A = this chain, B = another copy of it.
Amino acid sequence: MNFSIEHFAEIAENGVANIKYPSTTPGLYAPIVYAMASGGKRLRPALCLAVYAALSHRAPEDIINQALAVEMFHNFTLLHDDVMDRADIRRGQPTVHRKWNDNVAILSGDTMLSMAYGLLADGAGDRFASLFEVFNRTAIEVYEGQQMDMEFEKRSDVTVSEYMDMIRLKTSVLLGCACRIGAMMAGASDYVCDAFFNYGEALGLAFQLRDDWLDTFGDPAVFGKEIGGDIINRKKTWLLITCMAEAEDEIDGILREDLEPQEKISQVKRVYNRLRLAERCQELTERYSAQAADCLTNVELDHDARDFFTELCTKAAARSH
Protein backbone atom coordinates (compact mmCIF):
# COMPACT_ATOMS: atom_id res chain seq x y z
CA MET A 1 0.00 0.00 0.00
CA ASN A 2 1.31 3.44 -0.97
CA PHE A 3 0.83 5.50 2.19
CA SER A 4 1.21 9.06 0.99
CA ILE A 5 -1.31 11.86 1.17
CA GLU A 6 -0.79 12.52 -2.54
CA HIS A 7 -1.82 8.97 -3.36
CA PHE A 8 -5.08 9.15 -1.43
CA ALA A 9 -5.80 12.68 -2.68
CA GLU A 10 -5.38 11.41 -6.24
CA ILE A 11 -7.88 8.60 -5.66
CA ALA A 12 -10.29 11.21 -4.29
CA GLU A 13 -9.62 13.45 -7.30
CA ASN A 14 -10.43 10.61 -9.70
CA GLY A 15 -13.56 9.90 -7.70
CA VAL A 16 -14.66 13.50 -8.02
CA ALA A 17 -14.10 13.37 -11.77
CA ASN A 18 -16.27 10.25 -12.00
CA ILE A 19 -19.28 11.50 -10.05
CA LYS A 20 -22.40 10.95 -12.17
CA TYR A 21 -24.75 13.91 -12.49
CA PRO A 22 -28.26 13.66 -13.94
CA SER A 23 -28.56 15.01 -17.47
CA THR A 24 -31.84 16.73 -16.56
CA THR A 25 -31.74 20.44 -15.66
CA PRO A 26 -28.06 21.00 -16.53
CA GLY A 27 -28.37 24.51 -15.08
CA LEU A 28 -28.63 22.94 -11.63
CA TYR A 29 -25.60 20.67 -12.01
CA ALA A 30 -23.08 22.81 -13.92
CA PRO A 31 -22.24 24.90 -10.81
CA ILE A 32 -21.78 21.69 -8.80
CA VAL A 33 -19.37 20.26 -11.36
CA TYR A 34 -17.52 23.61 -11.34
CA ALA A 35 -17.30 23.77 -7.55
CA MET A 36 -16.25 20.14 -7.18
CA ALA A 37 -13.63 20.38 -9.93
CA SER A 38 -11.95 23.46 -8.56
CA GLY A 39 -9.59 21.44 -6.45
CA GLY A 40 -8.47 22.07 -2.96
CA LYS A 41 -6.34 19.59 -1.07
CA ARG A 42 -8.98 16.80 -0.96
CA LEU A 43 -7.77 16.38 2.61
CA ARG A 44 -11.06 15.08 4.02
CA PRO A 45 -11.72 12.30 1.49
CA ALA A 46 -8.00 11.42 1.46
CA LEU A 47 -8.08 10.98 5.26
CA CYS A 48 -11.23 8.87 5.02
CA LEU A 49 -9.63 6.60 2.40
CA ALA A 50 -6.34 6.36 4.30
CA VAL A 51 -8.01 5.32 7.56
CA TYR A 52 -10.01 2.65 5.74
CA ALA A 53 -6.93 1.33 3.93
CA ALA A 54 -4.84 1.30 7.10
CA LEU A 55 -7.41 -0.61 9.13
CA SER A 56 -8.80 -2.98 6.49
CA HIS A 57 -5.74 -3.54 4.29
CA ARG A 58 -8.16 -3.33 1.38
CA ALA A 59 -8.34 -1.04 -1.63
CA PRO A 60 -9.38 2.49 -0.61
CA GLU A 61 -11.51 2.65 -3.76
CA ASP A 62 -14.00 0.35 -1.95
CA ILE A 63 -15.33 3.33 -0.02
CA ILE A 64 -14.88 6.06 -2.59
CA ASN A 65 -18.55 7.08 -2.35
CA GLN A 66 -18.39 7.57 1.41
CA ALA A 67 -15.19 9.63 1.03
CA LEU A 68 -16.85 11.69 -1.71
CA ALA A 69 -19.88 12.26 0.55
CA VAL A 70 -17.61 14.12 2.95
CA GLU A 71 -15.99 16.09 0.11
CA MET A 72 -19.38 16.97 -1.42
CA PHE A 73 -20.65 18.11 1.98
CA HIS A 74 -17.53 20.22 2.52
CA ASN A 75 -17.94 21.89 -0.87
CA PHE A 76 -21.63 22.51 -0.22
CA THR A 77 -20.70 24.43 2.95
CA LEU A 78 -18.17 26.47 0.96
CA LEU A 79 -20.82 27.42 -1.63
CA HIS A 80 -23.24 28.68 1.01
CA ASP A 81 -20.53 30.22 3.24
CA ASP A 82 -19.21 32.18 0.25
CA VAL A 83 -22.71 33.63 -0.31
CA MET A 84 -22.98 34.54 3.38
CA ASP A 85 -19.46 36.03 3.54
CA ARG A 86 -19.78 37.73 0.12
CA ALA A 87 -16.51 36.05 -0.86
CA ASP A 88 -15.61 36.59 -4.52
CA ILE A 89 -12.68 34.26 -4.96
CA ARG A 90 -12.14 30.67 -3.87
CA ARG A 91 -9.02 28.72 -4.86
CA GLY A 92 -8.09 31.44 -7.33
CA GLN A 93 -11.41 31.28 -9.20
CA PRO A 94 -14.68 33.21 -8.99
CA THR A 95 -17.04 31.72 -6.40
CA VAL A 96 -20.27 30.16 -7.68
CA HIS A 97 -22.43 33.10 -6.59
CA ARG A 98 -20.08 35.46 -8.46
CA LYS A 99 -19.83 33.33 -11.61
CA TRP A 100 -23.59 32.72 -11.61
CA ASN A 101 -25.65 34.39 -8.87
CA ASP A 102 -26.84 33.93 -5.29
CA ASN A 103 -29.89 31.88 -6.25
CA VAL A 104 -27.79 29.41 -8.19
CA ALA A 105 -25.36 29.07 -5.28
CA ILE A 106 -28.22 28.49 -2.83
CA LEU A 107 -30.10 25.92 -4.92
CA SER A 108 -27.07 24.07 -6.27
CA GLY A 109 -25.70 24.01 -2.71
CA ASP A 110 -28.93 22.43 -1.46
CA THR A 111 -28.60 19.84 -4.21
CA MET A 112 -25.03 19.10 -3.17
CA LEU A 113 -26.16 18.48 0.40
CA SER A 114 -28.74 15.93 -0.73
CA MET A 115 -26.21 14.40 -3.15
CA ALA A 116 -23.77 14.08 -0.25
CA TYR A 117 -26.30 11.99 1.69
CA GLY A 118 -26.90 9.95 -1.44
CA LEU A 119 -23.17 9.25 -1.87
CA LEU A 120 -22.93 8.24 1.79
CA ALA A 121 -25.66 5.64 1.24
CA ASP A 122 -24.26 4.37 -2.06
CA GLY A 123 -22.61 1.02 -1.38
CA ALA A 124 -22.68 1.38 2.41
CA GLY A 125 -25.05 -1.57 2.81
CA ASP A 126 -25.90 -2.43 6.41
CA ARG A 127 -23.52 0.21 7.72
CA PHE A 128 -25.61 3.06 6.31
CA ALA A 129 -27.76 3.72 9.38
CA SER A 130 -24.76 4.15 11.67
CA LEU A 131 -22.81 6.16 9.08
CA PHE A 132 -25.84 8.38 8.64
CA GLU A 133 -26.09 9.05 12.36
CA VAL A 134 -22.45 10.22 12.50
CA PHE A 135 -22.68 12.22 9.28
CA ASN A 136 -25.92 13.97 10.23
CA ARG A 137 -24.72 14.92 13.71
CA THR A 138 -21.58 16.34 12.13
CA ALA A 139 -23.59 18.34 9.58
CA ILE A 140 -25.64 19.98 12.36
CA GLU A 141 -22.44 20.77 14.27
CA VAL A 142 -20.90 22.41 11.20
CA TYR A 143 -23.99 24.67 10.86
CA GLU A 144 -23.73 25.54 14.55
CA GLY A 145 -20.06 26.43 14.02
CA GLN A 146 -20.92 28.67 11.05
CA GLN A 147 -23.67 30.33 13.11
CA MET A 148 -21.17 31.01 15.94
CA ASP A 149 -18.66 32.37 13.42
CA MET A 150 -21.24 34.82 12.06
CA GLU A 151 -22.30 35.86 15.57
CA PHE A 152 -18.65 36.42 16.58
CA GLU A 153 -18.24 38.99 13.81
CA LYS A 154 -20.70 41.24 15.66
CA ARG A 155 -19.12 40.75 19.10
CA SER A 156 -15.97 42.27 20.61
CA ASP A 157 -15.80 40.03 23.69
CA VAL A 158 -15.22 36.61 22.11
CA THR A 159 -12.96 34.47 24.32
CA VAL A 160 -10.25 32.11 23.10
CA SER A 161 -12.22 29.23 24.53
CA GLU A 162 -15.31 30.24 22.52
CA TYR A 163 -13.14 30.57 19.45
CA MET A 164 -11.69 27.08 19.90
CA ASP A 165 -15.21 25.73 20.33
CA MET A 166 -16.30 27.45 17.12
CA ILE A 167 -13.45 26.13 14.94
CA ARG A 168 -13.94 22.70 16.45
CA LEU A 169 -17.53 22.74 15.18
CA LYS A 170 -17.04 24.61 11.93
CA THR A 171 -13.90 22.80 10.77
CA SER A 172 -12.58 20.01 12.96
CA VAL A 173 -15.55 17.72 13.47
CA LEU A 174 -15.76 17.15 9.71
CA LEU A 175 -12.16 15.91 9.65
CA GLY A 176 -13.01 13.74 12.64
CA CYS A 177 -16.11 12.50 10.82
CA ALA A 178 -14.07 11.68 7.68
CA CYS A 179 -11.71 9.55 9.79
CA ARG A 180 -14.53 7.89 11.70
CA ILE A 181 -16.34 6.95 8.48
CA GLY A 182 -13.16 5.35 7.14
CA ALA A 183 -12.81 3.37 10.38
CA MET A 184 -16.48 2.35 10.44
CA MET A 185 -16.34 1.15 6.84
CA ALA A 186 -13.32 -0.96 7.80
CA GLY A 187 -15.44 -2.58 10.52
CA ALA A 188 -13.20 -1.22 13.30
CA SER A 189 -14.14 -1.38 16.99
CA ASP A 190 -15.77 1.55 18.75
CA TYR A 191 -12.45 2.26 20.47
CA VAL A 192 -10.62 2.57 17.15
CA CYS A 193 -13.47 4.61 15.58
CA ASP A 194 -13.36 7.03 18.52
CA ALA A 195 -9.55 7.20 18.42
CA PHE A 196 -9.59 8.14 14.73
CA PHE A 197 -12.39 10.66 15.27
CA ASN A 198 -10.31 12.32 18.01
CA TYR A 199 -7.26 12.19 15.76
CA GLY A 200 -9.10 13.99 12.94
CA GLU A 201 -10.62 16.52 15.28
CA ALA A 202 -7.27 17.48 16.87
CA LEU A 203 -5.65 17.53 13.43
CA GLY A 204 -8.39 19.89 12.27
CA LEU A 205 -7.69 22.29 15.13
CA ALA A 206 -3.99 22.26 14.28
CA PHE A 207 -4.87 22.91 10.62
CA GLN A 208 -7.13 25.85 11.42
CA LEU A 209 -4.66 27.48 13.84
CA ARG A 210 -1.93 27.11 11.22
CA ASP A 211 -4.33 28.78 8.76
CA ASP A 212 -4.69 31.73 11.12
CA TRP A 213 -0.91 31.91 11.50
CA LEU A 214 -0.24 31.66 7.75
CA ASP A 215 -2.62 34.48 6.85
CA THR A 216 -0.57 36.87 8.98
CA PHE A 217 2.93 35.39 9.20
CA GLY A 218 3.10 33.26 6.06
CA ASP A 219 5.52 33.74 3.18
CA PRO A 220 3.59 35.51 0.40
CA ALA A 221 5.68 33.76 -2.26
CA VAL A 222 4.58 30.31 -1.03
CA PHE A 223 1.21 31.03 0.62
CA GLY A 224 -0.59 31.61 -2.67
CA LYS A 225 -2.68 34.55 -1.51
CA GLU A 226 -1.94 37.93 -0.02
CA ILE A 227 -0.79 38.15 3.56
CA GLY A 228 -2.83 40.18 6.03
CA GLY A 229 -6.34 39.61 4.65
CA ASP A 230 -7.61 38.57 8.08
CA ILE A 231 -6.22 41.77 9.62
CA ILE A 232 -7.83 44.00 7.00
CA ASN A 233 -11.17 42.17 7.38
CA ARG A 234 -10.82 42.24 11.20
CA LYS A 235 -11.46 38.53 11.12
CA LYS A 236 -11.78 37.06 14.60
CA THR A 237 -8.87 34.64 14.46
CA TRP A 238 -6.93 33.19 17.39
CA LEU A 239 -4.39 35.98 16.90
CA LEU A 240 -6.87 38.86 17.02
CA ILE A 241 -8.94 37.40 19.86
CA THR A 242 -5.87 36.81 22.00
CA CYS A 243 -4.59 40.27 21.17
CA MET A 244 -7.92 41.85 22.11
CA ALA A 245 -7.81 40.08 25.46
CA GLU A 246 -4.33 41.41 26.21
CA ALA A 247 -4.09 44.80 24.46
CA GLU A 248 -7.67 45.74 23.60
CA ASP A 249 -7.44 49.54 23.48
CA GLU A 250 -4.26 49.52 21.44
CA ILE A 251 -5.45 47.04 18.80
CA ASP A 252 -8.90 48.66 18.65
CA GLY A 253 -7.27 52.01 17.98
CA ILE A 254 -5.18 50.66 15.10
CA LEU A 255 -8.11 48.78 13.53
CA ARG A 256 -10.33 51.86 13.67
CA GLU A 257 -7.70 54.19 12.24
CA ASP A 258 -7.93 55.15 8.58
CA LEU A 259 -4.64 53.67 7.38
CA GLU A 260 -3.30 52.26 4.13
CA PRO A 261 -3.71 48.43 4.18
CA GLN A 262 0.04 47.71 4.31
CA GLU A 263 0.55 50.24 7.09
CA LYS A 264 -2.35 48.78 9.08
CA ILE A 265 -1.00 45.25 8.66
CA SER A 266 2.46 46.22 9.87
CA GLN A 267 1.11 48.18 12.86
CA VAL A 268 -1.05 45.22 13.92
CA LYS A 269 1.87 42.82 13.44
CA ARG A 270 4.01 45.03 15.66
CA VAL A 271 1.52 44.51 18.52
CA TYR A 272 1.27 40.79 17.72
CA ASN A 273 5.07 40.52 17.82
CA ARG A 274 5.34 42.32 21.15
CA LEU A 275 2.85 39.82 22.60
CA ARG A 276 4.78 36.91 20.95
CA LEU A 277 1.56 35.81 19.26
CA ALA A 278 3.26 34.09 16.31
CA GLU A 279 5.25 31.84 18.65
CA ARG A 280 2.33 31.24 20.99
CA CYS A 281 -0.04 30.37 18.13
CA GLN A 282 2.56 27.98 16.76
CA GLU A 283 3.06 26.36 20.19
CA LEU A 284 -0.68 25.77 20.45
CA THR A 285 -0.78 24.37 16.91
CA GLU A 286 1.99 21.92 17.75
CA ARG A 287 0.23 20.92 20.95
CA TYR A 288 -2.88 19.91 18.98
CA SER A 289 -0.75 18.24 16.35
CA ALA A 290 1.01 16.16 19.05
CA GLN A 291 -2.35 15.43 20.70
CA ALA A 292 -3.66 14.11 17.37
CA ALA A 293 -0.74 11.71 17.03
CA ASP A 294 -1.22 10.56 20.64
CA CYS A 295 -4.79 9.49 19.89
CA LEU A 296 -3.44 6.59 17.82
CA THR A 297 -0.96 5.25 20.41
CA ASN A 298 -3.11 2.27 21.33
CA VAL A 299 -4.44 1.61 17.85
CA GLU A 300 -2.82 -1.33 16.06
CA LEU A 301 -1.30 -0.07 12.82
CA ASP A 302 1.39 -1.18 10.38
CA HIS A 303 4.58 0.86 10.44
CA ASP A 304 3.97 2.69 7.19
CA ALA A 305 0.40 3.58 8.17
CA ARG A 306 1.46 4.85 11.60
CA ASP A 307 4.24 6.92 10.05
CA PHE A 308 1.77 8.35 7.58
CA PHE A 309 -0.71 9.50 10.22
CA THR A 310 2.05 10.84 12.49
CA GLU A 311 3.79 12.73 9.71
CA LEU A 312 0.49 14.26 8.66
CA CYS A 313 0.33 15.88 12.12
CA THR A 314 3.84 17.27 11.82
CA LYS A 315 3.11 18.56 8.34
CA ALA A 316 -0.17 20.19 9.43
CA ALA A 317 1.71 22.25 12.00
CA ALA A 318 4.56 23.17 9.67
CA ARG A 319 2.88 23.65 6.31
CA SER A 320 3.56 26.87 4.45
CA HIS A 321 0.45 26.88 2.23
Contacts and interface: CB of A to CB of B under 8 A. Distances in A.
Interface of A: 22, 24-25, 27-28, 80, 83-84, 102-103, 106-107, 109-111, 113-115, 117-118, 121, 128-129, 132-133, 136, 139-140, 143-144, 146-148, 150-151
A245 B25 CA distance: 23
B151 A27 contact: yes
A25 B147 contact: yes
Contacts of A107: 80, 84, 143, 146-147, 150
A18 B114 CA distance: 25
Given A25-B147, A27-B147, A136 B121 contact: yes
Contacts of A132: 117, 121, 128, 132
A102 B106 CA distance: 11
A111 B143 CA distance: 7
Contacts of A27: 147, 151
Contact of A117 (B103, B110, B115, B117): B117
Contacts of A128: 128-129, 132
Given A107-B143, A118-B140, A129-B129, 14 more contacts: A22-B144, A25-B147, A25-B148, A80-B106, A84-B106, A103-B150, A110-B110, A110-B113, A110-B143, A113-B113, A114-B140, A117-B117, A121-B129, A132-B132
